Amino acid sequence: MKCIIVDDDEMARISLSMLCEKIDDITIVESFDNGLDALNWLKNEDIDLVFLDIEMPDLSGMELVKSVDDLPQIIFTTSHSKYALEAFEYQVTDFLPKPIQLGRLLKGIERAKELNDNVSPQEVQSQLFVRVDGKFVRIELDEIMYIESLGDYVRFYSQDGKKYIVHSTIKNIDQKITNVNFLKVHRSYVVNLTKIIDIEDTNLLIKDKVIPVSRAHKPILMNKIKTL
């Protein structure tokens, strides 16, 4: 599970991150010291779980949850138990009192995993229909090398040299492609893992195209390619 930590207390972020390193199957991909930066980041990224402090300046954790309709799972982390009742009104996954103990954190993670596993499995996706020049064109996903953001448009690059420009966002495309071979590696790129030639530092190579890999996505990429 991909997770982020949002807390204005630096020591709380470090402590929680160290605890999470002891737990298998979860990866902290980013951390934020304020709710506004986290909110803006979430608009372009897809993750499974947010560890969210409640009392923060400018935008509190509760306000963040209230301001977004489609959020990943939320585990509130706070020193104040008075927020527990209100928190669960928003159907959050769990509520962890500070200081967070490993045993209590494990219970919260297990609950998040159970909720994540209960999502109905989808068939392996092999193709996608995209609207190009007023008509829907079928694209075979195993022929796509990578997908690039062009602002309000995205461009599909096929291994046979064809390019398809579609009016959409990279986030929307990433959500629609459920094929396990496709991974978002940067806010502007989704790649076909089977087409990667090599990876060096914060870049990967597909055919003759060098594609950047963000710091947040690098550990996810490295974990994924181990299974290929």
Which domains does the chain show, CATH number per domain? 2-117 (3.40.50.2300), 127-225 (2.40.50.1020)
Contact (Cβ atoms closer than 8 angstroms) between residue 105 and residue 19 = yes
The pTM score is 0.55
pLDDT, average across residues 33-48: 89
Structure tokens at 12: 């709380």
pLDDT at site 120: 45
Average pLDDT over residues 106-116: 86
pLDDT band at 121 (very low <50, low <70, confident <90, very high): very low
Q: Is the peptide bond before 72 cis (omega within 30 degrees of 0)?
A: no
3-state helix, strand, coil in the chain (%, to 5): 30, 35, 35
- Confidence tier at 42 by pLDDT (50, 70, 90): confident
CB atoms under 10 Å from CB of 40, counted, come to 11
Q: What are phi and psi of 127, to 5 degrees?
A: -150, 165
Residue 85 has pLDDT above 70, yes or no: no
Distance CA(137)–CA(146), nearest Å, equals 17
